[in-house]
């Protein structure tokens, strides 16, 4: 198993920056978050007190964002409306680094938008309560389709892969989809398709691979999957032969994925059990990972194993949150996870954004942590118990010298951060150069700020910042008889 994980991690490390074309239905995902803690007196429904809103790229746009986060250069081809949602969608895509020059804006056609009402309990634990869809699923028409064909023809030149994301929203017609596949295959570009939930899969003929889920595969074949893996093997073979594929991958939620990539055999690729928080975006992540892996020269079997890992990580998050290569490598090689905890502020904020999107409670504390002892460990465990993610700010060497004198620190900043990162209760470690962590507290914006009980009745740096956001300050008890000073005295 370790050899396989190392092999897969090596593939991720050589992903490079392939140029990948994404063709498909574009959507804007809107999220309205609010506290749901009482029932309405008007009807037996919960009352949601709105707290904030978010919008993200959905559909093919989500695949494009996922690919970009993994290092690809992405050309996106699709349509949106000339409305506020369309402007937001294009702005979000550009911000993510996606090339939107080949997108088509259609006046009078609404941008496909999915608005989700998300209830929170005690400002945490997001739960989707309602989804409102706004869309026009009619065919885009011959004129717009011809424009997209020309954009696709130009985009495929020199591309490493074509990803087709079909939600049956009027873009991928029985004429455009086969034409796209034929164009790519003539150029030797592999075509990866996340198919729609439709009965007729003829539009996907000659694709390199399709990735239906269990329900979609049953609908496309007209047959029930009675058991895994035998039932999956039967459906995969039906699609593989009928559509002339190079491979067929059926995603099977908790059972993993079934791969058929030749006329004989087929293999079930089990997945690691995960805490499923939200399945939104898991299929998009699988498609993106398969495309990156194949572009890097992986076999279909290796690509599916990587897709399993990436899809498993995605369902542990709320909403569609991109994964970076480092997160995938850390999941494959847990021994390297400690090194991933040490962050600069920019990468820390990226990591925290995904945790916040998943409803996680962020805790922050800080200190010198020069000679780690049992009191430190107990203190950090106490801090971690007040939330889901613990960020530890560590004074730089120069800062320690100003505060403690020329003989300190005993251990360098790198060593102090490495030791903290090795603790299971610590999620991230970041350094700061000032004499106080005020700017770091502002940047991290924690839900909980933890300091030692010796701050009772004293000013806690960052208190106003945290409490202004509705957060809290908690004072941790000390473990008697344990301090860095007493440890140094014993060593003297």
Segment 38-72, tens digit of pLDDT: 899 999 999 998 888 888 899 999 999 999 989 99
Pairing of strands 46-59, 26-39: antiparallel
pLDDT for the residue 326: 76
Q: Whole-prediction pTM value? A: 0.73
Residue span of the structural domain in which 183 resides: 2-28+55-109+136-332
Burial class (CB in 10 A: 0-12, 13-18, 19+), 157: exposed
Confidence of residue 277 (pLDDT cuts 50, 70, 90): very low
Answer yes or no: do 327 and 347 share one domain: no
% residues pLDDT > 90 (the chain): 63
**Residue at 119 is within a domain:** no
How distant is the alpha carbon of residue 308 from its chain centre?
14
**Residue at 125 is within a domain:** no
Read off the pLDDT of residues 104-142 as tens digits, 9 standing for 90 and up.
999 999 999 999 998 877 655 678 899 999 999 999 999
Asked if pLDDT for residue 338 goes beyond 90, the answer is: no
Distance of alpha carbon 116 from alpha carbon 129, whole angstroms: 7
Instruction: Report whether 323 contacts 340 (CB < 8 A).
Output: no
Q: What is the mean pLDDT of residues 420-436?
A: 91
CATH number of domain containing 414: 3.40.50.620
CATH number of domain containing 70: 3.40.1190.20
Whether 92 is a known active-site residue: answer no
More confident of the two residues 339 and 29: 29
pLDDT for the residue 300: 96
Instruction: Report whether 374 contacts 479 (CB < 8 A).
Output: yes
Q: How many C-beta atoms surround the C-beta of residue 8 within 10 A? A: 23
Q: Which residues pair with 105 in a beta bridge?
A: 80
Confidence of residue 484 (pLDDT cuts 50, 70, 90): low
Pairing of strands 161-165, 19-24: parallel
Answer yes or no: do 301 and 399 share one domain: no
Answer yes or no: do 342 and 263 share one domain: no
Confidence of residue 415 (pLDDT cuts 50, 70, 90): confident
Distance of alpha carbon 219 from alpha carbon 58, whole angstroms: 23
Answer yes or no: do 158 and 307 share one domain: yes
pLDDT for the residue 336: 57
**Residue at 120 is within a domain:** no
Q: What is the mean pLDDT of residues 484-489?
A: 54
Give residue for tokens 């910042």: 465
Distance of alpha carbon 471 from alpha carbon 446, whole angstroms: 7
More confident of the two residues 54 and 24: 24
Answer yes or no: do 323 and 378 share one domain: no
**Residue at 403 is within a domain:** yes
Answer yes or no: do 328 and 342 share one domain: no
* Domains held by the chain: number: 2
Q: What is the mean pLDDT of residues 323-345?
A: 76
Identify the active-site residue in 75, 284, 427, 447.
284
Distance of alpha carbon 332 from alpha carbon 453, whole angstroms: 40
Asked if pLDDT for residue 488 goes beyond 60, the answer is: no
Please provide the average confidence, as pLDDT, over all residues in the chain.
89
Distances, alpha carbon 65 to alpha carbons 57, 305, 352, 452, in Å: 8, 21, 18, 42
More confident of the two residues 278 and 37: 37
Answer yes or no: do 253 and 322 share one domain: yes
Answer yes or no: do 351 and 320 share one domain: no
Confidence of residue 453 (pLDDT cuts 50, 70, 90): confident
Asked if pLDDT for residue 432 goes beyond 70, the answer is: yes
Q: What is the mean pLDDT of residues 345-366?
A: 85
Q: What is the mean pLDDT of residues 2-27?
A: 90
Which of these three, 332, 347, 374, is where a domain ends? 332
**Residue at 416 is within a domain:** yes
Residues with Cβ within 8 Å of 288's Cβ and at least 6 positions away in sequence, in order, are: 63, 66, 67, 70, 163, 310
pLDDT for the residue 263: 86
Read off the pLDDT of residues 191-230 as tens digits, 9 standing for 90 and up.
999 999 999 999 999 999 999 999 999 999 999 998 888 8
Q: Is the peptide bond before 171 cis (omega within 30 degrees of 0)?
A: no
Residues with Cβ within 8 Å of 407's Cβ and at least 6 positions away in sequence, in order, are: none
pLDDT for the residue 409: 87
Q: Taking phi first (over 0 means left), then psi (-120 to 50 degrees means alpha), and beta for anything else, what does residue 491 get?
A: alpha
% residues pLDDT > 70 (the chain): 91
Q: What is the dihedral of CA 211, 215, 219, 221, to 10 degrees?
A: 60
Q: What is the mean pLDDT of residues 315-320?
A: 63
Asked if pLDDT for residue 397 goes beyond 70, the answer is: yes
Answer yes or no: do 245 and 354 share one domain: no
Which of these three, 283, 303, 332, is where a domain ends? 332
Answer yes or no: do 206 and 172 share one domain: yes
Which of these three, 309, 332, 355, is where a domain ends? 332
Distance of alpha carbon 35 from alpha carbon 456, whole angstroms: 32
Q: What is the mean pLDDT of residues 285-292?
A: 95
Q: What is the mean pLDDT of residues 275-300?
A: 83
Answer yes or no: do 80 and 171 share one domain: yes
Answer yes or no: do 289 and 323 share one domain: yes
Instruction: Report whether 485 contacts 371 (CB < 8 A).
Output: no
**Residue at 21 is within a domain:** yes
**Residue at 323 is within a domain:** yes
């Amino acid at each position: 198993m370790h050899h396989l994980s190392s092999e897969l991690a090596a593939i991720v490390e050589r992903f490079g920056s392939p140029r990948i074309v994404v063709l498909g239905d574009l959507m804007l995902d809107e999220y309205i978050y609010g506290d749901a803690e009482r029932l309405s007196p008007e009807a037996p429904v919960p009352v949601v007190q709105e707290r904030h809103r978010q919008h993200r790229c959905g559909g093919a746009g989500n695949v494009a964002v996922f690919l970009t986060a993994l290092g690809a250069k992405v050309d996106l081809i699709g349509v949106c409306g000339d409305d506020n949602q369309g402007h937001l969608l294009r702005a979000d895509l550009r911000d993510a680094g996606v090339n939107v020059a080949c997108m088509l804006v259609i006046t009078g056609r609404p941008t496909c938008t999915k608005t989700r009402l998300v209830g929170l309990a005690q400002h945490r634990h997001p739960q989707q309560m309602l989804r409102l869809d706004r869309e026009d699923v009619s065919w885009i028409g011959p004129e717009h389709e011809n424009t997209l064909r020309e954009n696709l023809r130009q985009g495929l030149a020199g591309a490493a892969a074509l990803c087709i994301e079909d939600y049956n929203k009027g873009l991928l017609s029985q004429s455009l989809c086969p034409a796209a596949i034929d164009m790519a295959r003539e150029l030797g570009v592999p075509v990866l398709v996340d198919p729609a939930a439709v009965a007729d899969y003829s539009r996907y003929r000659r694709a390199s691979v399709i990735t239906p889920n269990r329900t979609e595969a049953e609908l496309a074949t007209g047959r029930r999957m009675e058991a895994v893996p035998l039932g999956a093997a039967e459906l995969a073979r039906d699609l593989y032969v009928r559509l002339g594929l190079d491979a067929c991958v059926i995603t099977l939620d908790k059972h993993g994925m079934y791969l058929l990539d030749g006329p004989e055999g087929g293999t079930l690729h089990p997945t690691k059990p995960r805490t499923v928080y939200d399945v939104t975006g898991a299929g998009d992540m699988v498609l993106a990972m398969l495309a990156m892996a194949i572009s890097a020269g992986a076999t279909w079997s290796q690509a599916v194993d990587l897709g399993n890992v990436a899809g498993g990580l995605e369902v542990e998050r709320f909403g569609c949150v991109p994964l970076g290569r480092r997160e995938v490598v850390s999941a494959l090689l847990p021994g390297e996870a400690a090194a991933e905890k040490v962050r600069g502020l920019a990468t820390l904020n990226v990591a925290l954004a995904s945790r916040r999107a998943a409803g996680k409670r962020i805790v922050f504390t800080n200190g010198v942590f020069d000679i780690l002892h049992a009191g430190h460990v107990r203190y950090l465990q106490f801090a971690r118990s007040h939330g889901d993610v613990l960020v530890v700010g560590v004074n730089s060497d120069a800062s320690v010298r100003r505060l403690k004198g020329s003989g300190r620190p005993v251990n360098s900043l790198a060593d102090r951060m490495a030791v903290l990162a090795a603790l299971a209760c610590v999620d991230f470690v970041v350094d700061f150069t000032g004499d106080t962590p005020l700017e770091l507290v502002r940047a991290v914006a924690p839900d909980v700020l933890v300091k030692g009980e010796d701050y009772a009745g004293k000013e806690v740096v960052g208190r106003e910042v945290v409490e202004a956001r509705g957060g809290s300050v908690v004072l941790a008890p000390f473990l008697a008889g344990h301090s860095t000073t007493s440890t140094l005295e014993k060593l003297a």
